[in-house]
């Protein structure tokens, strides 16, 4: 299953972590998770200060490496994942064929 999830993820809190974990669960062993991470210009609409894209991306990658990858290994998942810049509310969801948007 190909799953799309998106957000600013700043700060990366428990709700985000559950959302990401669920996305990987839905994708399944041979699935794919595309994580849309808001660009700095798009994220600047928030009312609170936002860390730069590169820092937010590094936080996501660290979480995925530490938690998602470990859980996937325990379930023998080979879930492919990628982080793509999200410059609007829709990202690649309008152009790509996703089975689920979380």
For the chain, the first-to-last Cα distance in angstroms comes to 12
Query: What integer pLDDT is reported at residue 77 of this predicted model?
Result: 64
**Above pLDDT 90, what percent of the chain?**
75
Query: What integer pLDDT is reported at residue 75 of this predicted model?
Result: 72
Beta strand pairing call for 32-38 and 2-7: parallel
Residues in the chain: 102
> Which tens digit of pLDDT belongs to each residue from 22-69?
999 999 888 999 999 999 999 988 888 999 999 999 999 999 988 877
Q: Is residue 92 part of a domain?
A: no
**Domain tally, the chain:** 1
pTM of the model: 0.91
Query: What integer pLDDT is reported at residue 53 of this predicted model?
Result: 98
Q: Is residue 59 part of a domain?
A: yes
Q: Is residue 70 part of a domain?
A: yes
Instruction: Kindly give, in sequence order, each residue whose CB lies less than 8 Å from that of residue 71, ignoring residues fewer than 6 positions away.
Output: 21, 24, 77
Structural domain including 78 reads 52-82
Q: Is residue 61 part of a domain?
A: yes
- In the predicted model, what is the mean pLDDT of the chain? 91
Q: Is residue 67 part of a domain?
A: yes
Q: How far apart are CA 20 and CA 24, in angstroms?
A: 6
Q: Is residue 74 part of a domain?
A: yes
Q: Is residue 35 part of a domain?
A: no
């Amino acid at each position: 299953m190909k799953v799309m999830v998106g957000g600013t993820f700043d700060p990366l809190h428990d709700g985000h972590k559950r959302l990401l974990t669920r996305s990987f669960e839905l994708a399944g062993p041979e699935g794919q998770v595309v994580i849309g991470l808001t660009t700095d210009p798009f994220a600047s609409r928030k009312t609170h200060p936002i860390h730069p894209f590169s820092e937010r991306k590094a936080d996501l990658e660290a979480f995925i490496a530490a938690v998602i990858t470990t859980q996937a290994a325990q379930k023998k998942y080979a879930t492919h994942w990628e982080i793509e810049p999200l410059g609007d509310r829709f990202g690649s969801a309008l152009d790509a064929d996703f089975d689920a948007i979380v």
